[in-house]
A and B are shown apart, each in its own frame.
Chain A
Amino acid sequence: MFEAWVTVLISGLAMGAIYALVAGGLNLTWGVMNVVNMAHGVFLMLGAYITFMAWSYWGINPLFTIFLSFPILFALGALINRFLVRRTVGLASMLLTFGIFMVIENLAVVGFGGMYRSVRFFTGSYDIMGVFVSKPRIIAAGIAVAMSLLTYWFLKKTKIGVAIRAISLDRMMAEQCGVNTNQICTITFGIGAAQPAVAGSLMSLIFAFNPMLGRVFLVKAFAIVVLGGMGNFLGALIGGLTIGLVEAVIAFSGNLHLSEAAGFIIIILILLLRPSGIMGRRQ
Chain B
Amino acid sequence: MIKDVARSLWALGWMGGGAIAAFVVLLLVAPWVVSPYVVSLFMAMFMYIVVCSSWNIISGFTGYVSFGHVVFWGVGAYVTAVLVWKFNYPWPLAVMLGGVGSAFLATIVSYPILKLTGIYFAISMLALAEAIKILTSHFRSVTGGGGGIYLRPMASLNILYLMMGFLALAVVLVCYSITHTKFGRSLLTIREDETAAESLGINITRRKIQALILSGLFPGIAGGIYVMNVCFIDPATAFDISITVNIILMTTFGGIGTIIGPVLGPVAFTALSEFLWASFPFLHRAILGAILIAMVMGMPNGIMPFMVRFAQWVGIREFFSRRREASQ
Contact = CB atoms under 8 A, between A and B. Distances in A.
Nearest to B245: A98
Interface in B140-185: none
A264 B293 contact: no
Interface range for B: 35 or more
Contact of A95 (B128, B138, B296): B296
Interface stretch (A55-63, A99-107, A135-143): A99-107
A100 B293 contact: yes
A43 B273 CA distance: 26
Contacts of B124: 267-268, 271-272
Contacts of B115: 272
Interface in B281-306: 282-283, 285-286, 288-293, 296-297, 300
A118 interface: no
Given A96-B292, A106-B283, A257 B128 contact: no
Given A99-B289, A103-B289, A260 B118 contact: no
Contacts, number: 110
A260 B134 contact: yes
Nearest to B146: A257
B241 interface: yes
B126 interface: yes
B118 to A, nearest CB: 7
Given A222-B127, A261-B138, A264-B130, A88 B289 contact: no
Nearest to B241: A218
B289 A275 contact: no
Given A261-B135, A265-B131, A95 B252 contact: yes
Contact of B296 (A99, A261, A265): A99
B123 interface: yes
Contacts of B289: 98-103, 106
A91 B297 contact: no
Nearest to B68: A219
Interface in B244-266: 245, 248-249, 252
A206 B118 CA distance: 36
A110 interface: yes
A103 B128 contact: no
A94 B65 CA distance: 11
A205 interface: no
A150 interface: no
Contact of B138 (A219, A257, A271): A257
B285 A106 contact: yes
Contacts of B120: 226, 271, 275
Contacts of B201: none
B128 A94 contact: no
A112 B300 CA distance: 33
Given A84-B297, A261-B135, A272-B112, A98 B292 contact: yes
A264 B297 contact: no
Majority DSSP secondary structure for residues of B touching A: helix
A92 interface: yes
A266 B118 CA distance: 19
Contacts of B116: 271-272, 275
B228 interface: no
B119 interface: yes
B210 interface: no
B245 to A, nearest CB: 6
Contacts of A36: 119, 123
Contacts of A110: 282-283, 286
Given A96-B296, A96-B297, A99-B289, A91 B118 contact: yes
A4 interface: no
B122 interface: yes
A279 interface: no
B276 to A, nearest CB: 11
A90 interface: yes
A258 interface: yes
Contact of A267 (B127, B282, B293): B127
Contacts of B270: none
Interface string B99-136: 00000000000001101101110111011101100110
B42 interface: no
A88 B134 contact: no
Interface in A61-92: 84, 88, 90-92
A92 B296 contact: yes
Contacts of B282: 106, 109-110
Given A95-B248, A98-B245, A267-B123, A219 B130 contact: yes
A99 B252 CA distance: 14
B325 to A, nearest CB: 26
21 contacts: A84-B297, A88-B296, A90-B118, A96-B293, A98-B289, A98-B292, A99-B292, A99-B293, A99-B296, A102-B288, A103-B286, A222-B126, A222-B127, A257-B135, A258-B134, A260-B134, A261-B130, A264-B130, A265-B131, A267-B127, A271-B120
Given A96-B293, A96-B296, A271-B123, 7 more contacts: A99-B296, A101-B289, A102-B285, A255-B138, A267-B123, A271-B124, A275-B120
Closest 4 CB pairs of A and B: A102-B289, A99-B292, A106-B286, A264-B131
Interface of B: 65, 67, 112-113, 115-116, 118-120, 122-124, 126-128, 130-131, 134-135, 137-138, 241, 245, 248-249, 252, 282-283, 285-286, 288-293, 296-297, 300
Interface of A: 36, 84, 88, 90-92, 94-96, 98-103, 105-107, 109-110, 218-219, 222-223, 226, 255, 257-258, 260-261, 264-265, 267-268, 271-272, 275
